[in-house]
Structure 1
Amino acid sequence: MTDLASRTAAALDAAVGAGRDLGLTVTDARVLHDLFSVVVHLAPAPVVARVPVVLPAYVDLDLLARRQRTELDVTRWLADQGTPVIPPSPLVPHAPVRRDGFSLTLWQYVEEDRGKEIDYAANAESVAGLHAALRDCPVPLEFLSAAEPEFMAGALDRLAERPDLISAADLGRARREWQELEPLVRSRAAFEQRFPGVELRPVHGDAPAANIFPGAEGDLYADFELVTLGPVEWDMAGLGPDLAAAYDRGAKDRGLRPLDPDVLRFTDAIGMLRVIACLDLLPQLPVLHDYLKPALDQWRS
């Protein structure tokens, strides 16, 4: 069995064990998805376990559990408000579960509409609705935690030892860009001085237009693992002018402000540097190269 297959099998075993420990009947568990997390349907229980397996070097289980608790709190609050999200499972306590070296979360199983074609423009337009729903979310959030400055800084340092993953010229450019952008990511005061009047509010944190689950009974927002306090532009970073225009249509319909071009340039730049930093994760997830290459080519051009 390969290391990746062993990791998936270990995550599956942890999910099944955690579910049974919590009183769920699990006899036919199956892996639904396996990339950054192993996602397991704990069948026949209507519960899905999400087990993160690919993590930046600075994220330990304690930090991961704190993030997961925040995600559970935010999604439970949104579900209680009637926002279409995949909610935490009501059959188990709303808390991360630690087992066998993993920290996992448990969610309500939702049947997928596998035949539905994804409409990214419609998704982007709907993100404004999610922002409207998140406006009054009472869960405490950190400023731009989704930018993961510790990951960025550490990854750029480690990549200096990996010329097989990135050229010296590309890494030098990335370091120069990060040196200029890092202060605005680490300091709310610096951000607000650079972008006066731009409201900071709860946002999804991880491209919600690409994280809408096509449920059999309707679309649901999903994967709030990086939920954060930031400008709405953070959620539209790197998606291009067409989807930005779609978002603006949705914002206008809901009485929200349109995207600020200056802030969007900032979030686009951070998003591209996160692509560079993700090269540091390739030893954990080699297939990630195929996802990163188009963005890397765009950055280079």
Structure 2
Amino acid sequence: MATFLTPQQLADRTAAAVAAAVAAGRALGLTVTEPRVLHDLFSVVVHLAPAPVVARLPTVLPHPEDLAAVGRRQRDELDVARWLADQGVPVIPPSPLVPPEPVRRDGFSLTFWSYLPEDRDREPDYVANAESVADLHAALRGYPGRLAFLSAADPDSLDESLAELDRHPTLIDAADLDRARREWRALAPPARSRTAFEARFPGVALQPLHGDSPPANIFHGVDGDRYADFELVTLGPVEWDLAGLGPEHAAAYDRGARRTGGRPLDPEVLRFVNALGTLRVIATLTLVPRLPPLLEYLTPAIDHWRTTPFAGGLTL
């Protein structure tokens, strides 16, 4: 049976993350007297006020203790964000006040970003955001660094999570878990292997991607919109960045692709990434004991999955 963290334990984890961020910032020469938590879900995000710097510390991960693996992802994120900023792409850039590299402190691996004031009166327009993702993809096509194929899907942790869910019967019933495992067996080959993907979806180009639903990760700053949170940056088909969104968002992206000279979304690939993305949602159930409020975010997607065809109707 799962043991869920209590509200006090969650608060203690947040406090420890803030303390680590403050200590790391001060060690790098920043003046920090009024730290303020901006966000606290999978990561704790702290404005190290009055310094114009934000620290982000991942706290809810499949293997948070593997700081080397966390750091590798963070280096990719910092490299991509810095490169995009150098190209004039509107992103939240790494802070220029500290070295652009992950820092380990008190059991956390953290990164530092420029603080930008948010336009809190503006509501997100996810359809417009989906269209603008085509602009981001156009810029990312020129990124010269090496990225792993569909690392954002994290096949190894998906294997582990589906096995671990046997021990969490309160989070998923046996019939749902059996279906998820059968779907994963069908989807795994093109998710794990670029060669298998290209054989199944011939002619579908791959490129650097944001990796984590960029329409939901556009920061509305007082000085304009900026792409943010490249923690899952990866190589893959552009469809991955539109997974889980509806036809209206796909149509908006296609409008942007026509405008920027990109390719429209491929319906078969979109079915594949939608099905794979849903399995990632199910795998995320294993994190609920460490973050109980997460369950309310995951439940609607899993309820919808039960109404859909096996593996999204994709023939594999």
- The TM-score by the shorter chain falls in which range? over 0.9
Partner of residue 277 from structure 2, selected from 271, 285, 288: 271
User: Structure 2 unaligned runs (5+)?
Assistant: 1-6, 308-316
Counterpart of 2:251 in structure 1: which amino acid?
A
Q: For residue 266 of structure 1, report the CA deviation from its aligned partner.
A: 0.3
Q: Per-residue displacement from partner, 1:162-203 (whole Å, max 9, x unpaired)?
A: 111100000000000000111111111000000111111000
2:32 matches 1:26: yes
What secondary structure is seen at the aligned counterpart in 1 of 2:160? helix
Question: What pairs with 1:72-151 in structure 2 (closer than 5 Å)?
Answer: 72-151=78-157
Q: Distance in 2 between matches of 1:242 and 1:272?
A: 19
SS in 2 for 1:27: strand
The TM-score normalised by the length of structure 1 is 0.99
SS at match of 2:219: strand
Query: Quick one: which of 168, 179, 185 aligns to 1:173?
Result: 179
Change (3 A) 1:271 1:251: same
In structure 1, the residue matched to 2:221 is 215
Paired letter, 2:260: R
1:255 CA displacement:
1.3
CA gap 1:211/1:296 in 2 versus in 1, 3 angstroms: same
**Which aligned pairs between 1:116-265 and structure 2 lie closer than 5 A?**
116-265=122-271
Secondary structure, aligned partner of 1:129 = helix
Q: C-alpha displacement at 1:59, in angstroms? A: 6.7
Shift of 1:2: 1.0
Partner of 1:61: 67
Q: CA deviation at 1:282?
A: 0.3
Structure 2 CA distance for aligned equivalents of residues 189 and 208 of structure 1: 26
Contact 1:58 1:150 in 2 (8 A): no
Using the TM superposition, give the Cα deviation of residue 161 of structure 1 relative to its aligned residue in structure 2, in angstroms.
Answer: 1.4
Task: Give the secondary-structure state (helix, strand or coil) at the position aligned to 1:51.
Answer: strand
Q: Distance in 2 between matches of 1:56 and 1:197?
A: 34
Which sections of structure 1, spanning at least 5 residues, go unmatched? none
- In structure 2, C-alpha distance between the alignment counterparts of 1:297 and 1:108, rounded to whole Å: 38
Quote the Cα distance in structure 2 between the aligned partners of 1:175 and 1:129. Answer: 36
Distance 2:108 2:290 in 1: 15
2:229 alignment partner AA: D
The alpha-carbon deviation at position 57 of structure 1 amounts to: 3.1
- Say if 2:64 and 2:70, in contact at 8 Å, map to a contact too: no
Of all paired residues, the percent bearing the same amino acid is 69
Distance across 2 between alignment mates of 1:260 and 1:185: 16
Runs of 4+ in 1 over 2 A off after TM superposition: none
State how far apart, in whole Å, the 2-side matches of 1:148 and 1:172 are. 20
RMSD: 0.9
Question: By how many angstroms is 1:139 displaced?
Answer: 1.6
1:285 maps to: 291
In structure 1, what is the Cα distance between the partners aligned to 2:65 and 2:187?
22
Question: Displacement, 1:138?
Answer: 1.0
Cα distance, 1:69 vs structure 2 = 0.6
Instruction: Say whether residues 1:5 and 2:11 are aligned partners.
Output: yes
Task: Spell out, residue by residue over 1:120-176, the C-alpha distance to the aligned partner (whole angstroms, 9 max, x if none).
Answer: 110000000000000010121000000000111000000011111100000000000
Query: Is the CA contact (8 Å cut-off) linking 2:91 and 2:228 kept in structure 1?
Result: yes
* Contact 2:65–2:107 (CA under 8 A) maintained in structure 1: no
Secondary structure at 1:226 match in 2: coil
Write out per-residue CA displacement over residues 213-247 of structure 1, whole angstroms, 9 at most, x where no aligned residue: 01011010000000000000000001011100110
SS at match of 2:134: helix
State the TM-score, normalizing by the size of structure 2: 0.94
Q: Distance in 2 between matches of 1:276 and 1:117?
A: 28
* Structure 1 letter corresponding to 2:43: S
Within 2, Cα distance between the matches of 1:254 and 1:46? 34
The secondary structure found in structure 1 opposite 2:71 is helix
Q: Deviations over 1:30-86 (max 9, x none)?
A: 111100000000000000000100011387100000100110000000000000000
